[in-house]
Amino acid sequence: MSRAVDPSQVKPAAPPIASIDYEMIFQHAPVGMCVSSDRVIQSCNRALAAMFGYAEGDLNGQSFSVLYPTMDEFLRTGDRIVPIMNAKGRYSDERIMRRADGELFWCHVTGRALDPAQPLGAGVWTFEDVSEKRPVSAELTPREREIAALLVEGKTSKMIARETDLSPRTVEMHRASLMRKFAASTSSELVHKLVGAR
């Protein structure tokens, strides 16, 4: 049995979209986004510029290195990205980045190469500021920042040693330093403090 439909309750259909304005979508995306080539930002949206404390357009043409605390961290991250992109076609991690004013903050970064054969060639990257739930609360060295990011991913000291070309003993020394700086008595407590768990 069919029910009668009251014409006053029927909403008119939305008009069809004649064309999708991808530039508008890119600029108004709720996360930081950019298109890059050979680790140089070709175009970034407003959210990314604002997140890092730059004026709109200031990051276009800049190397990603300006977003890192040090050049060494920029280079080591690039070395780490290549084998993961080659294996998975995409890359994702959480790392400490640097705003224009020098402030350090935790950032979730995800990227995909447009050509899988060139992992650091043309790509699309998103950035999400996670500093509200994970503040940078200790003065860390570049290596400590790198190892902290890998610990947050759940990597063991042996895995970190392989990924960073450090000896397991050196990784353990950095882990011990992190434990002192974060007043953590166990490795799991350290990870909880690194991820901002209360």
On whether both 158 and 173 belong to a single domain, the answer is yes
The pLDDT value given to residue 197 = 54
Q: Is residue 17 domain-resident?
A: no
Q: Are residues 99 and 74 in the same domain?
A: yes
Is 163 in contact with 147 (CB distance < 8 Å)? no
Paired strand residues for 94: 108
- Of the residues 116, 134, 152, the one at which a domain ends: 134
Domain end position, chosen among 91, 115, 134: 134
Give the 3-state secondary structure of residue 151.
Answer: helix
| Predicted pLDDT at 43 | 96
Of 134, 162, 186, which one is at a domain's C-terminal end? 134
Evaluate whether residue 7 is within a structural domain. Answer: no
Residue 25 burial (CB < 10 Å; 0-12/13-18/19+)? exposed
The Cα 123–Cα 39 span in angstroms is 9
Q: Do 122 and 108 share a structural domain?
A: yes
pTM strictly above 0.85: no
Q: What is the pLDDT of residues 34-73, one digit of tens each?
A: 999 999 999 999 999 999 999 999 999 999 999 999 999 9
- Assess whether 100 and 192 both reside in one domain: no
For the chain, the domain total comes to 2
In sequence order, the β-bridge partners of residue 32 are: 127
Domain of 192 in residue numbering reads as 137-198
Pair (89, 151) in one structural domain = no
Which regions of the chain are under pLDDT 70?
1-18, 196-198
Same structural domain, 120 and 48:
yes
